[in-house]
Amino acid sequence: MEAAAEPGNLAGVRHIILVLSGKGGVGKSTISTELALALRHAGKKVGILDVDLCGPSIPRMLQVQGKAVHQCDSGWVPVFVDQEQSISLMSVGFLLEKPDEAVVWRGPKKNALIKQFVSDVAWGQLDYLVVDTPPGTSDEHMAVVDTLRPYSPLGALVVTTPQAVSVGDVRRELTFCKKVGLRVIGVVENMSGFVCPHCAECTNVFSRGGGEELARHAGVPFLGSVPLDPELTRSLEEGRDFIRGFPESPAFPALSCIAQKILNEAPVGLS
């Protein structure tokens, strides 16, 4: 099960980005999905690896829930979410017989599956692989970092929401990154204010300012604030392409900025 056993499966992947947060529910899967969509719109081939074993959200966000996963000689074939095959996805969600059945596994079993996901998915040629993680700093995170280490990931996008309770957990995530030698590409502050569609008043539903301050405290780049937009939530619920559908949305500039940062930092074409 060691990475060296199947060097081919990640050899065709140019850049690997992890999306992390100490805190649950801040929008890791949302940011992972939107980043993948934005990179696709920039003409790139993207893979998404969803290693949230207890709460695999991404299949639904890309409207491929329930799809079957096939095997080939090199391992599992990821599910393509579009005709052009520019986004492929692997998630434990595809392996569950019943979607409402809980995956009640302890650490060692989760580690085993994550190692398999990293090593045994036949990604082929990808410009970017986005790895969505569950909240926390535990088995899954250690397994994914250890198994990806030989492939020199570009780094981690760390997601928070503005309030202190999130920032409190995300500080620990930044410590985790430091401890395991994972570079932090930057901090994204999600759910950053809500503009009332009726009167345009902006309310800080989940407080304000935490993300930027966190980035400053930790000495890492602040990549932007993504405001709350029910159209974004709805797009994810219905598996629609928000980037294509809602370029006027207040959430669009920040999401584009994050994607642009990745494209600038790790352009495809350089080794």
Partner 1 sequence: MEEVPHDCPGVGSAQAGRGASCQGCPNQGLCASGAGAAPDPAIEEIKEKMKTVKHKILVLSGKGGVGKSTFSAHLAHGLAEDENTQVALLDVDICGPSIPKIVGLEGEQFLEDNLGVMSVGFLLSSPDDAVIWRGPKKNGMIKQFLRDVDWGEVDYLIVDTPPGTSDEHLSAVQYLAAAHIDGAVIITTPQEVSLQDVRKEISFCHKVKLPVIGVVENMSGFICPKCQKETQIFPPTTGGAEVMCHDLKVPLLGKVPLDPRIGKSCDKGQSFLVEAPDSPATLAYRSIIQRIQEFCSLRQPKGENLVGS
State the binding site for [4Fe-4S] cluster: 196, 199
What distance in Å separates the CA atoms of residue 156 and residue 172, rounded to the nearest whole number?
A: 14
Of residues 57, 88, 91, 225, which one binds partner 1 by CB under 8 A?
57
197 vs 269, beta carbon nearer partner 1: 197
Compute CA 62 distance to the chain's CA centroid, rounded to the nearest angstrom: 13
Which regions of 138-241 does DSSP assign to beta strands (E)?
A: 155-160, 184-195, 202-203, 222-228
Q: Does 41 bind partner 1 (CB under 8 A)?
A: no
Q: Does 108 bind partner 1 (CB under 8 A)?
A: yes
Q: Which parts are annotated binding residues?
A: 22-29, 196, 199
Q: Does 199 bind partner 1 (CB under 8 A)?
A: yes
Least separation, in Å, of the C-beta of 249 and partner 1? 14
Of residues 8, 230, 247, 267, which one binds partner 1 by CB under 8 A?
230
Q: Does 204 bind partner 1 (CB under 8 A)?
A: yes
Name the burial class of residue 214, with classes exposed (0-12), middle (13-18) and buried (19+) by CB atoms within 10 angstroms of its CB: buried
Of residues 15, 40, 44, 141, which one binds partner 1 by CB under 8 A?
141
Helix (H, G, I), strand (E, B) or coil at 107: helix
Of residues 173, 215, 242, 263, which one binds partner 1 by CB under 8 A?
173
Binding characters for partner 1, 87-106, by CB under 8 A (x = yes): -----x--xxx-xxxxxxxx
Q: Does 212 bind partner 1 (CB under 8 A)?
A: no
- The secondary structure of residue 4, as a DSSP letter, is G
Q: Does 257 bind partner 1 (CB under 8 A)?
A: no
Cβ count near 160 (within 10 Å): 30
Q: What residue has token string 């993504």?
A: 226
Phi, psi torsion values for 127, nearest 5 degrees: -80, -45
Q: Give Cβ neighbours of residue 197 (< 8 Å, ≥ 6 apart).
A: 230
How many CA atoms within 13 Å lie on the side-chain side of 86? 11
103 vs 257, beta carbon nearer partner 1: 103
Q: Does 63 bind partner 1 (CB under 8 A)?
A: no
Name the burial class of residue 62, with classes exposed (0-12), middle (13-18) and buried (19+) by CB atoms within 10 angstroms of its CB: buried
List contacts with partner 1 (CB under 8 A): 22-26, 29, 54-55, 57, 60-61, 92, 95-97, 99-112, 134-139, 141-142, 161, 163-165, 168-169, 171-176, 179-180, 194, 196-199, 201, 203-207, 228, 230, 233-234, 236-238
